[in-house]
Amino acid sequence: MGIRLVAASAVAFGAVAVAAGLGVRVNTTPSLPRGLYLAGPLDAGGVERGELVSACPDTAAIRRLGRYWTNGRCPGGEGRPEGVRPLAKPVAGVPGDTIRVDSSGVWVGGRPLPSSAPLFRDRAGRPVRPALGVHVLGRGEYWLHSGRVATSIDSRYVGPVRVVLERVRPLWTED
């Protein structure tokens, strides 16, 4: 019985390692439908509005929102040598867009994003600092937004992202 368990565990871990190496990602957060996603390279044409991407927040955002990150492959900056997990979110703003964030929500090019009102306190009552103000996205800057849950950590809190790692497509989701 013991050898079977060890063998089954080895096969399972091997399958997970192979899947990860092929770009399969698991999402368990409510920010996207829970399920399996396939990560792939970005096209030469760049990133388009509406695409689902995996991106790294800048180190200032990581410091400011430190308690919300889990370990991962994005550079974590001072105090986070292990790095942080990338954000997987839809692209709401692309270079050239003007983004406005205030207490009532986020506007991209004058159009409101659904379910975008930032929170000023987290579920535990601790203060959170949204990226309030006007942001004009420069070359290589993107605005990420998940309107699925109010507590999603996205560009409302981290501001524009500059390091987009990969395009992400759903393979199988619960929704």
Strand 24-27 versus strand 52-56 pairing type = unpaired
Q: Per-residue pLDDT averaged across 76-92, rounded?
A: 82
User: So what's the pLDDT on residue 171?
Assistant: 95
For residue 142, what is the domain's CATH number? 2.10.109.10
More confident residue, 119 or 15: 119
Q: Residue 16 above 70 pLDDT? A: no
d(Cα 170, Cα 26) in Å, to the nearest integer? 10
Total domain count, the chain: 1
The beta strands (E) that lie in the chain are given as: 24-27, 35-40, 52-56, 87-93, 98-102, 105-108, 111-112, 133-136, 143-144, 163-173
- Containing structural domain, residue 79: 2-173
**Among the ranges given (73-87, 111-125, 148-162), the one the predictor scored with the smallest mean pLDDT:** 73-87
Structure tokens belonging to residue 139 = 């070359």
**Sorting pLDDT into bands at 50, 70 and 90, what band is 1?**
low
Structure tokens belonging to residue 113 = 């994003």
Question: 57 CB contacts (<8 Å, ≥6 apart)?
Answer: 65, 74, 84, 87, 158, 159, 161
